[in-house]
Amino acid sequence: MSETAAAPELEAALAEVKKAWRRGELCLAEIGGFTDKELDAAVTAASRLIISRQTGEALQVIGSLIFLKPREPKYYHLAGLALHAAERFDLADAYYRLALAINPEDVASLVYRGEVNLYLGKRKQGLSMLRRALELARGKPALDTFVMRARAVERAFLEKPA
């Protein structure tokens, strides 16, 4: 007789945990008991590493965050920012795309993805993403920083000949 068969409540609880894991409703951060505050502290640490141009170290922290909570779009966005700052626009685009796959209305990722697409020479797609971000941000003052960036990038690239 298995240990869980002797404790039907435990067996039922484990079955529910397995189902939640398979449905993507449970992640290692939750199993490990990490709080949002602890995870946000790691985001802050990674952001500081990006600012200080320590891209490799930042990506190590971000990789750990993605491992712990793979369905959190802000971690993919942060990886995109690190690669964007390092001028690895192709890889930055891939991470922004992952963030948008999880949350298609992520204005920040749309703005930055639009920008890297412009750097990659994909003018039409880049401008389209910036305009979509501006649409989504309309009437949302909390997103003003991204609106300003989108407009500045759009202006800069509209002034350049195609």
- What is the pLDDT averaged over residues 114-124? 96
Residue 36 and residue 33: Cα distance in Å, rounded? Answer: 10
Which pTM value belongs to this model? 0.81
Residue 157: its pLDDT value, please?
Answer: 87
Helices (H), the chain: 8-22, 28-31, 36-51, 55-68, 73-85, 89-102, 107-119, 123-137, 144-159
The CATH number that domain 26-89 falls under is 1.25.40.10
CB 129 within 8 A of CB 113: yes
14-39 confidence digits (pLDDT tens):
777 677 667 666 566 666 677 889 98
Identify the pLDDT of residue 21.
Answer: 62
Average pLDDT, the chain: 89
- pLDDT of 24 reads 66
Residue extents of the structural domains in the chain: 26-89, 105-162
